Amino acid sequence: MKAAAVDVRQYGPACEGSFEEYWKNPDCPAVYFGHYLSHNLFFRSVSAAFLGSSKEAIDAARKTRGYVERFVVNEPGLQRYMTGTFMMLVAHQQWDDIMKEKDIPEGCYAQKGYYFLPGKRDNFPVDTWILLYEPYEISAPEFLKAHFGGHCELKGCLRPETLSAIINCFRKSEDFSEHHESLLQ
């Protein structure tokens, strides 16, 4: 993190403000500064999580999200770091804190890496953040093995319009590919 601190001292003042402000400043290497520091802040969170320091991990993830929100307009792809807060809250089983996150209207937040579904809808008793980050496939045999092994269970079905909205949101996310499109056909 010492290298990041040097960059903050060197470029921080030139890269302050909104996109419209820092983009016009020739002393702000926005792509470098935005991406590099986002990466380092996120990995500070991950490192703290590995060390069992949940407060530091969650604080660093929140700082990462706030930082990324300033630079993502210029750097598509940074949104992967915006889900860190929720990932750290889940990893450290901070369920009440998840519920205290900003009041969020239902819908697609592809740039932030999730779809938000309010509680008491579509068989979800509580507010639910459906993460779109780094999807992976599971084959039918793997799914059945997990089901019959007691590792997953069917709780309910999404309404067709909700499922369609989540799929359309996923299509807008950075992690969506032609391969995923072929699976949805």
Residuewise pLDDT in 10s, the chain (185 residues): 566 677 778 877 877 777 777 778 888 887 777 777 888 888 888 888 888 888 888 888 888 877 777 777 667 677 777 777 777 777 778 777 776 666 667 888 877 778 888 888 888 888 788 888 777 788 889 988 988 998 888 878 888 888 888 888 888 887 788 888 888 87
The pLDDT score that the predictor gives to residue 2 is 65
3-state secondary structure of 42: helix
Cα–Cα distance for residue pair 78/153, rounded to 1 Å: 33
The pLDDT score that the predictor gives to residue 149 is 92
Cα–Cα distance for residue pair 8/159, rounded to 1 Å: 47
Cα–Cα distance for residue pair 75/98, rounded to 1 Å: 27
Nearest-CA neighbor of 114 among 90, 141, 138? Answer: 90
Tally of residues, the chain: 185
Sign of the torsion formed by the C-alpha atoms of 98, 81, 19 and 63: positive
Contact of 60 with 43, CB cutoff 8 Å: no
Contact of 34 with 14, CB cutoff 8 Å: no
User: In Å, how far are 109, 120, 133, 147, 165 from 158, measured between CA atoms?
Assistant: 18, 12, 20, 18, 11
